Amino acid sequence: MSMSALAETDEEVLRVANSKAWKPFSYINSDGQPDGILIDLWREYGTRNKVEIEFILLDWNESLEAVKSNRADVHAGLLWSEPRDEFFDFGDALINIETQLYYSQAFIGFDVDELLKGKVEQYVGVVKGGYEEYFARKEFPKANLKVYPNNELLINAAFKGEISAFVAVLQVANFYLYSSDDPMSFVPVKYLYSGDLYPAVAEGNRPMLDAVNLGFKKIGTATRETILHKWIHIETVYPQHFFPTVVGVSGLVAMLYIIMLKRTVKARTRELELVNEKLTVLSTTDELTGIKNRRCFMDAIHQLDTQSESLTVMVFDIDNFKSVNDNWGHAIGDEVIKEVAQSVESILTPSMLFGRIGGEEFALVVRELSKESAIDLAQSVCLKVSAARMQVECNTHISVSVGCAFYPNGSNEVDLVTADKLMYKAKQQGKNRSVVELIE
């Protein structure tokens, strides 16, 4: 479906894919209908943009394949990862999620690190194609993983004793555990990561992605909060029988562990402080390059005063990057991304906002430049990368294409779309160059 079709046609259908068993974000309810937070958000999107939404809810990995194979136009919401970035273009953030490792109460007291190092004969469950599987294989390569098609089957397997632990989004695990007859059978024992869910389209479908981003801007913060509030309402996520159960169990647990807690509370408090410090860094910094990540960068530019002075917005990415990954592997690709970021950062000042907004894509926002200085900076970015002596050998000349939108009188809102389109003009003109346009 084209961007114009999304914007102007009442009869077109937008096919939106996601999981069929990912409560409370997306699932098929007891009436056989799509339901969940993301479902409600996309229904609101359809209403605001006069587009009919057709939901395609499948097992998680199949939902990704549906977008890749054009059975679906867009994925409703997923985390960004490097492997996914090869196949998808990601939109603006929708919802933030947190993921934990859940361990059976029967094994509390065992060393979790031994489990993650594969030194005990216990399985850790993950969902096939989910970010949880990608993260577990990357961070805990020796763990004994067992893969399931969706979260419902995963947690059912945990109840049956097939696995001793599983990796799951906090909200998802809570929904399934606390609507069961044994909500305390598995407990979170280790924070793993947090991140934003983004809508995603097949790689290269920029018109669709631009339309989706613009369409979601029509949904105000109040409406989004109303949808979220509906789904975190206590009777929606936690059944009525949950609280009497928790009160009884909590009382017993408190009696058994109170002495131990008194002895360890000081150490645990410091441990939590260190974790919080680490989480603050993780939530704002791109792990690979050390510069601002997409979420932190977008938050920063939205807080800028951009109306009283000139504004320069640049988007650039690495030319022919896919061939680097294909020919030399992702490890070399990561090193190239890191060195490009370091090269560009070396010519910037602390007041300039610089971030990694996608796999090999970066953005730069600067205030108070003249048009001539903006042009010079855009050219300097190209020249610096092109002339950089890469520490990795991939027999490929590394360069970037830069799109630069210059607003002489500032802008009511910082928008990366215009600069992104100019970047593609630079690629069409031969790459390793910048295209600068004055935006009145």
Enzyme catalytic residues: 360
Structure tokens at 355: 């971030």
User: Where does 156-239 show beta strands of DSSP type E?
Assistant: 165-169, 186-202
Euclidean distance between CA atoms 379 and 369, whole angstroms = 14
Phi first, then psi, for residue 353 (nearest 5°) are -90, 120
Euclidean distance between CA atoms 361 and 390, whole angstroms = 18
Tell me which H or E stretch contains 40: helix 37-49
CB 163 within 8 A of CB 123: yes
Structure tokens at 421: 């389109």
Q: What are the residues whose beta carbons fall under 8 Å from the beta carbon of 343, sequence distance 6 or more?
A: 384, 385, 388
CB 167 within 8 A of CB 125: yes
CA angle 253, 257, 263 (to 5 degrees): 155
One-letter amino acid at 357 equals I
One-letter amino acid at 255 equals M
In 69-184, alpha helices (H): 82-85, 112-116, 131-139, 151-159, 170-178
Structure tokens at 311: 């504004």
Euclidean distance between CA atoms 440 and 433, whole angstroms = 23
Most distant pair of Cα atoms in the chain: their distance = 72
